[in-house]
Amino acid sequence: MNDQYTIRLGNWDTLKTDAQAIRIEVFVVEQNVPPELEMDEMDARCLHAVAYDPSGHPVGTGRLLPDGHIGRMAVRKEARGAGIGGLLLQGLMAQAQARGDVSVVLNAQTQAAPFYQRHGFRVADRGEFLDAGIPHVEMRLDFSQVAK
């Protein structure tokens, strides 16, 4: 992990500008997800995380929904491989655990499943499905099965 990055947690009003810019760049531009599918009404109800590089430039984001789902995990192309996704994921998982969630669930792009498995997530039995035309798998992590 790289400790030169800062993770800020907050609501949509606080982090919208930075989180939205990253999500548009990664999902809409890079992966061709329709913009109307990328931003949704759940943003206002989620806890958001944004990672900043040492110069204060936003480089990654993710969100935690009220029901324990983690989603919209995205890291800008130029910042990938520096451990930012892991920092964001660990931060969101810690927030879920702190508020009393017993597990977290996410829908991972199939190609990203190994990343989440390295953080303790297991693929659910649901099988692969398409979301915005991209293959995904449902993954879960039960906090009771995580070594303390």
- The CATH-assigned architecture of domain 6-145 is 3-Layer(aba) Sandwich (3.40)
Whether the per-residue pLDDT at 125 is higher than 90: the answer is: no
Tens digit of each residue's pLDDT (9 = 90 or more) over 55-113: 999 999 999 999 999 999 999 999 999 999 999 999 999 999 999 999 999 999 999 99
pLDDT above 90 covers a percentage of the chain that reads 83
Which are the contacts of 98, defined by CB distance < 8 A and separation ≥ 6?
A: none
Q: What are the sequence ranges of the domains in the chain? A: 6-145
Using an 8 Å Cβ cutoff, are 140 and 105 in contact?
yes
Using an 8 Å Cβ cutoff, are 11 and 49 in contact?
no
How far is residue 31's CA from residue 133's CA, in Å, rounded to a whole number?
Answer: 10
**How much is the pLDDT for 2?**
53
Q: Which residue, 136, 138, 146, 131, is CA-closest to 96? A: 146
Three-class SS of residue 86? helix
How far is residue 67's CA from residue 69's CA, in Å, rounded to a whole number?
Answer: 6
- Cα–chain center distance at 82: 15
Residue 52 pairs in a beta bridge with: 6, 58
Supply the pTM of this predicted model. 0.92
| Length of the chain, in residues | 148
Q: How many CB atoms lie within 10 A of CB 67?
A: 10
Which are the contacts of 118, defined by CB distance < 8 A and separation ≥ 6?
A: 86
